[in-house]
């Protein structure tokens, strides 16, 4: 006698372990705390495609992971989009841990304001310093988010310079999710804590992150495209540097435009 499976309402024999239509398990348990905990553990530690296994592969084999995933080994690896979004979630959680910040006295910090007698000019300068402080606060708190926003541009440059490799833009975007996601993970869990431990300037943290990005991007794409010559390694280095520099120019221009005019000056 056949029974109707609950997920897709397909008729199947009761001795089947999985539905022949949707592959859901036949013997389902009621949802409880144990079931949820098991799913969480399975999600992170599954031997074939758990995130910890992926991180290990990205550290040791970098671009080969993206190459195999794009070329069809989809079940072997943790999804690039899920990985990228999970890294973003971890970063947002860490960034929103409450931190005590001492409010700045703008006139005390910027003594040149005391010499301005024109009220309108002084008000304008105060607003400029306020926007500057907001930008500094955003960069301190959301530097990794800014790095994530570089993904479409970085992927575009790799697609543009490697069009002969027959990977489309979306496939370069997928590779970028693995590549950039791993860099941001290392920045969040390794570079930033070391900087805080040794009380290094945020500028040093940014420098170390950019150098790590440049090195990892280069090795990642060298392996992703299965290159073997020193010339191709140099090209991967050049494209990586070009992409990072271009993103620095775009983000720098945007920041300066906001500080100087609050964006309104651009459209007036």
In order, the DSSP letters of 24-89 are -BSSPPPP-HHHHHHHHHHHHH-TTT-HHHHHHHHHHTTHHHHHHHHTT-TTTS--HHHHHHHHHH
Do both 221 and 90 map to the same domain? yes
Do both 94 and 225 map to the same domain? yes
Do both 127 and 218 map to the same domain? yes
pLDDT at 58: 95
Residue ranges making up the domain that contains 259: 84-267
pLDDT at 265: 44
> Is 11 within the bounds of a domain?
yes
The mean per-residue pLDDT over the stretch 111-138 comes to: 64
pLDDT at 32: 62
The mean per-residue pLDDT over the stretch 182-195 comes to: 90
Number of domain units in the chain: 2
Do both 111 and 7 map to the same domain? no
Helix axes 80-95, 169-186, angle to 10 degrees: 40
Do both 133 and 21 map to the same domain? no
Do both 90 and 213 map to the same domain? yes
| Burial status of residue 139 (CB atoms within 10 A of its CB: 0-12, 13-18, 19 or more) | middle
Q: Minimum mean pLDDT among 72-81, 148-157, 196-205, 255-264: which range? A: 255-264
Do both 13 and 132 map to the same domain? no
Closest CA to 80 of 69, 64, 91: 69
Do both 132 and 11 map to the same domain? no
Query: Which residue has better confidence, 63 or 258?
Result: 63
């Amino acid at each position: 006698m056949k029974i109707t499976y609950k997920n897709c309402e397909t008729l199947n024999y009761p001795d089947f372990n999985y539905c022949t239509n949707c592959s859901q398990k036949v013997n389902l348990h009621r949802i409880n705390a144990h079931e949820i905990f098991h799913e969480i553990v399975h999600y992170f530690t599954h031997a074939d495609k758990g995130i910890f296994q992926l991180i290990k592969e990205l550290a040791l084999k970098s671009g080969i992971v993206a190459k195999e995933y794009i070329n069809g080994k989809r079940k072997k690896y943790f999804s690039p989009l899920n990985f990228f979004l999970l890294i973003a979630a971890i970063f947002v959680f860490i960034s929103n841990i409450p931190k005590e910040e001492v409010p700045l006295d703008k006139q005390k910090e910027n003594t040149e304001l005391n010499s301005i007698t024109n009220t309108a000019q002084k008000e304008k300068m105060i607003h400029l310093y306020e926007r500057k402080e907001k930008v500094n606060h955003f960069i301190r708190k959301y530097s990794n988010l800014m790095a994530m926003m570089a993904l479409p541009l970085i992927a575009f440059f790799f697609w543009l310079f490697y069009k002969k490799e027959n990977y489309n833009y979306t496939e370069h975007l997928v590779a970028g999710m693995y590549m950039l996601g791993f860099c941001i993970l290392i920045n969040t869990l390794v570079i930033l804590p070391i900087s805080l431990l040794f009380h290094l300037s945020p500028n040093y943290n940014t420098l170390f992150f950019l150098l790590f990005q440049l090195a990892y991007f280069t090795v990642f794409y060298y392996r992703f495209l299965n290159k073997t010559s020193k010339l191709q390694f140099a090209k991967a280095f050049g494209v990586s540097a070009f992409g990072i520099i271009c993103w620095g120019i775009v983000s720098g221009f945007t920041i300066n435009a906001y500080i100087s005019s609050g964006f309104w000056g651009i459209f007036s």
